[in-house]
Every structure is written in structure tokens, then in C-alpha cells.
Amino acid sequence: MERREPMEYFPYENLRAHQEEFIRIVDDVVRNGENAIIEAPTGFGKTISVLAGVLPHAKEMGYKVLYLARTHRQMDRVIEELKAINGKSPVSGVELRSRKELCLHNYLREYTSDAYTAMVVCKNLKKSGKCPFYENEKKKKEEFEEVARFFLREPSHPSEILNYAETLELCPYDLTRKVAEGADVIVASYLYMISPGIREAFLDGLGIQYEDLIVIFDEAHNLPDQAISALSDRLSIHTINRAIKEADEYGENEIANFLSILGRGLEILFQEKLSSRDVQETPIQPELVFSHVLNVLGINARYLVKTLNEMVSVGDAIREDRINKNEPPRSYIGRTGEFLLLWLSLIGRDDYLFLMTRDKGLSLELVALDPSKALGFIKDVQSAIFMSGTLTPLEAFHDVMGIDNARLKKFPRMIKRENALVLVAKDVSTRGAERSLEVYRKMADYIVEAVKIIPKNVGVFTASYEVLQGLLSTNLQVRLEETGKAVFIEKQGASSKENDLMVAQFKAHAKANGAVLLGVMGGRNSEGQDYSGDEMNGVLLVGLPYARPTPRIEAQVRYFEKKFPGKGRYYGYYLPAHRKLVQAAGRVHRSAEERGSIVILDYRAMWSNIRKDFPDWLREGIKPVDLARMRLYLRRFWANER
Ligand code: SF4
């Protein structure tokens, strides 16, 4: 077979600095069947570089490229790059979205929230002949196949496929999957691969074998958290109570009785373990959840498993019944059975923590401690590439995610030194013992003065909502409004829609007097959100976002300590916080040319053991300041911009 060269898949005239090296490394890695962990800064052009690197070998060998990203915006960007490549060398690509986003059936769109329920509903609607779009797909088989072939000629956004399918009254979800079967590149969300249940169904459905896959993880710094959350689960006492009602409604008396006794046992346990309002969560011995019900009913473990399996079957039947009645397709019995079976199956595993919590009501929680368990499949794929602007130190990422046979590469800064000002206040900190109204007032002075000097928009990201409240208690909002800038405050628990609207309004002020956005580090506005140009000229980072030493954090540290002796606290506690800070700092530079100022309101950021985790552009040139010096540096830095 003729060997293809990466530059055949690079559609632009000029290469940016180091891009060719990046492309060559990726090309080499996939040809050798290795993995790679690559850090390259903002503005590098990682997406086009990784595609140009993997496509030659993928096309030669018939491997499928699976490009995984976190947000829709990131996924759309991949399709844009594929379109550009296709103008030079033929390549096909498609972006997968959830059923809910692509389905045309009103019932599914209205009533389903999660992927699993959407799958069950779709299956039922198809089976009962109640989906006209699927019926059309069968009737107009030729047309369906022809449209799929059409989309294989040009990489397309989901909206393009959706519009086409809507006009032809075909199912856009099935059409997208049909295109995916033949496409060179599938763009999808992380969840498709890190959630074990979804992964198997996804690959089986498309007839893809692991060994035929090259997987790219973009913005890979998100992976540890995403993996933990994909492997964890939670069941509230509220769901169990609803399950009892449901069992009564459906005449499932035995299940109703079982659940009532189980629920009573849990109440006793909650009273015993979480009686103090100050305790938010506590680890429990997992068997205790079943002791009461086993005692009262006089049943053994085998009978328990049988009952839970029965609950799952009854749940499936209830979902089906509700679909037929045009009611929301949920079953509390099914959900409870599934959770408790999982709980039982994980007893004895040291990579899980069993908790009782009072977060969002009294709940049982299964907390995964080992994110690498979500990536067990990596050893079976041809290659996996992990890339991000924030992976320092690469060795830690490599360890925590358990990626063997990997090449590690770090590309240098893109941001010119003169375009970044990094200041650290030397007289404030959010260290537990030092938090006081006086310190918050001092911090508020820094923030107000910086906001006055920084032209246009400013982000203020705090270590936690508690710190944000501490700052607001100093009358900060009024003082900020007096600067003439609009003030936006991130709301904990706001819906994505509400938050998106707020961020859009904040960004719009960049064209007027500017605005201030107050939020937390590690939150949705300090990570994964792009602010270009004046939309965020400066950030103030208030404190270091170390997690509170809750049982789950302590268990994480202990687990990592056992797995990586001497590094447990660093991997489980310090490093995640340092990454959050770096992410928030990175909001000011969306390209190498942009100017941005970063003020860290915590003197610990000067400490060498913390600074070592910062990327070069943040670390080099960092300056300790007091309030007067901060004013001076900021004025000089922004002198010509106002
Ligand atoms: S076949 Fe398509 S349109 Fe019909 S319910 Fe399923 S996803 Fe929706």
C-alpha cells in the first residue's frame, strides 16, 4: 500500500511553531501502535495537528479515528478542521450527538433526560411501530442509504444532517450512525468511551473492534474527573420512597414490602451515622445497608440478589408500560434494583468508597477512586493520544490514568512573555487558619483596584463558593458596580441554559464598558469556556482551590498512596487543585497574540513546590506584589490598551 504523508492532510499554507514536530510524533506513535500524552499550549493548533498526524496511517490501514472531546463547541471545531482537510485530501467525518438531541419523536424529546432511558424508549417505539421516522427508514431504504453516502463525501455538522433528515422525515440519529459506520473520523463526547455500559453498546452498534480504533482524547486534563464521575453512582432515599409507591401502584406487594423494610433499615442507619447536621458524608460498611431487611425477612444473600434482579425486570416492564401510556418512561423500582445490584457487586473492592451522604437529600453513594479503570480498553486499541494545554506534570497524568506504552511530550509556551503579566499578592491567602473578614476585605481591595485598571472584562475566580461568599460579605458587589462595570455572579446549581445566558451577557459587555464575572475555580466558567479578546482581559484568582478534607478526598489520597507510594497526597489533593488554578488562569489567552493579566491572591502560589506544577508561561516572570505594586504593574501593562 502506498504510504501517505501527514502533510497531505495539513490543509493550511503555513505551519505554526513546533506543529510539524507534533504531527511527526503522532504519525510515528500510531504507526508503532503506541500511545502519546502531549501537552501543547493554547493557540498551538492541536486539533489540526493531531488529525494530520493520525490520518495517513488510519487511511492506509482502514483504522477508525475516534476523536473525543468534552463540549459541543470543541466537537464542532473538529468538524470544521475535517472540512478544511477534505478540501485537500478526501476524508469523511461525522459528529455524534445524543438521541435526545437528534431524535424527531416528540415523546422521546420531551420525556427522556439520560442516554440509557432514551435508548430504551427508542427501542420500544421502534418495536411497537410507533416511530414514523423509523418506519420511513425501512420503507425508503434506498433513499436512506443514498443520503448516508452523500454525507460521507463531506464532513458535516449535526445540524446539517438533522435538517436533511427532517426534510426527508428520516431518523437523524439513525442516519448519523449510518454515516458513522463508514466515516474515517467519528467525533463524540468522552462518555461514549469512559462509561463502560455506553462504550460496549456504542462499539457493538457500529460493528467496531477495539483493535481497529485510534482514539484521541482532547482537553485530556478533564479525564480523571470525568472518569471518576462516569464510574460513580448515587441513590437517594427519595427514590426508594418513590419506588415503594410505584410498587403499590403496580400491585408488586412483595417488592413494596421488601423496599419498605429496606427503607426503614436505611433510616435507622442514617440516624446512627449522620445524626449531626455538621457531618455531610460518612463512609459505611456496605453490607450494613442490607442487614435490617435480611434480619426482618429472614432471607439470605441469594434471595436478596434474586429480589434485586426481579426489581430490574419489573422496572423494564414498567418503563415499557409507561411508554405505551405516553407517560415519562421511568421506573423507580428498576433504578433502585440496578443501583443496589451494583452496590452489592462492588463489595470488597478497594477502588470504591461506600458513602452515606446528605448532599441533595439523604443518599447512598458509590464513589470510584481509580480513574484508570475507565480506560482499561486502551491496551486493546491501536493507539490512544491524550492532549491538552494543561497536563503538567505529564508523569502524574500517565500514572493516574494508567496509560502504558506512552510517549510523553511537552511543547513550549506560545504566549509571548510580554503578553502575560502574572502577579501574586504577598499578604493574603485562603489558608484555613487565615480566613477572616479582614483578609476578605484586603482581597476585595485588590479586586476593586485591579478591575478599575484592567480594560474591559475581568474574571474573579475563587477557591470555593465559601470564599466567594466571604468576599461578597465585604460589600464587594457594590464597590465593583461603582467602577462602572456590570457585575455577574455565577450561581451554584444554575441550569446550563441560565448560566450560558449569563455568560453571553457578560461577554457582550466587552464591547461597552466591560464587566466582572465572579465564579469559582474548577467551575464551568473558569474551565472549558472560551473568552476571546476583551471578553476576558484579566483574571483574579482568589486562593488555591484545595478540596475540603472530606472522607472521599481522604479515601482518594489513601488509595493513590497505596498505588503510588509517597505520591498519594500529591496526586489526590494538591495536583487537582493546581490544575484548576492553571485552567482558570488560562482564560485570558485564547491565542498567542492576546494580552492578559493574572493576579493570584494567595502568597502560596510563590512556593516552589506549587509553582512547579504551573506551565512555563505562568511560572516564569511571576512577581510578588502588595496592593501598591499591583496597581503599578497593571497600569504599566495595560497603559496603551485603554
Ligand atoms: S428511531 Fe429515531 S426518531 Fe424514532 S424514536 Fe428512535 S431516535 Fe427518535
Distance 84 CA to ligand 1 centre (A): 31
DSSP per position, 497-520: HHHHHHHHHHHHGGGTT-EEEEEE
Nearest-CA residue for ligand 1 atom 4 is 131
| Residue-level pLDDT at 642 | 52
Quote the mean pLDDT of the chain.
Answer: 93
Whether 472 shows a pLDDT value over 60: the answer reads yes
DSSP 140: T
Which residue, by CA, sits nearest to atom 8 of ligand 1? 103
DSSP string, 156-219: B-HHHHHHHHHHHT--HHHHHHHHHHH-SEEEEETHHHHSHHHHHHHHHHHT--GGGEEEEETT
Q: For residue 393, is the peptide bond before it cis, meaning its omega torsion is within 30 degrees of 0?
A: yes
Rounded Cα distance, 178 and 238, in Å: 40
Residue 455 has pLDDT above 70, yes or no: yes
Query: H or E stretch including 352?
Result: strand 352-357
Grade residue 325 by pLDDT with cuts at 50, 70 and 90. confident
**Which comes out higher in pLDDT, residue 162 or 390?**
162
Residues 6 or more apart whose CB falls under 8 angstroms from that of 146 comprise: none
Nearest CA to ligand 1 atom 2: 171
| Burial 588-601, CB ≥16 within 10 A → b, else e | bbbebebbbbbbbb
pLDDT at 465 over 80: yes
Q: Residue 327's pLDDT band (boundaries 50, 70, 90)?
A: confident
Angle at Cα 542 formed by Cα 460 and Cα 469, nearest 5°? Answer: 80
Neighbours of 181 (CB within 10 A): 15
Which of 174, 323, 326 has most ligand 1 atoms within 8 Å of CB, for mutation?
174
CA dihedral 563, 567, 573, 579 (to 10 degrees): -110
Residue of 98, 126, 162, 326 to test ligand 1 pocket, by largest number of atoms within 8 Å of CB: 126
Residue 637 pLDDT > 60, yes or no? yes
Residue ranges and CATH numbers for the domains of the chain are 6-108+132-230+374-410 (3.40.50.300), 233-368 (1.10.275.40), 417-638 (3.40.50.300)
104 alpha carbon – ligand 1 mean position (Å) = 6
Instruction: Enter the DSSP assignment of 2.
Output: P
| 617 in contact with ligand 1, CB cutoff 6 A | no
Q: Are 144 and 170 in contact (CB under 8 A)?
A: yes
pTM exceeds cut of 0.95: no
Question: What are the tens digits of pLDDT across the range 44-81?
Answer: 899 999 999 999 999 999 999 999 998 888 899 999 99
Give CB contacts under 8 A, 24+ apart, made by 369-372.
369/228, 369/555, 369/556, 369/559, 370/231, 370/559, 370/563, 371/223, 371/224, 371/225, 371/227, 371/228, 371/231, 371/400, 371/401, 372/227, 372/400, 372/401, 372/402, 372/403
- For 253-287, how does the pLDDT look when each residue is reduced to its tens digit (9 = 90+)? 999 999 999 999 999 999 988 887 778 899 999 99
Amino acid of residue 537: N
Q: What confidence tier does 641 reach under pLDDT thresholds 50, 70, 90?
A: low
Please report which confidence band the pLDDT of residue 620 belongs to, taking 50, 70 and 90 as the band edges. Answer: confident
Specify the residue for cell string 488510519. Answer: 58
Q: Give the C-alpha separation, 302 to 290, whole Å.
A: 12
Q: Does the C-beta of 174 come closer than 6 Å to ligand 1?
A: yes
Say how many Å lie between the CA of residue 197 and the centre of ligand 1. 20
Mutation test residue for ligand 1: of 126, 170, 173, 326, the one with most atoms within 8 Å of CB: 173
| Residue 133 CA to ligand 1 centre (angstroms) | 7
For residue 357, give the 3-state DSSP assignment: strand
User: Using CA atoms, how far apart are residues 238 and 586, in angstroms rounded to an integer?
Assistant: 41
Half-sphere exposure of 483 (CA within 13 A, CB side): 24
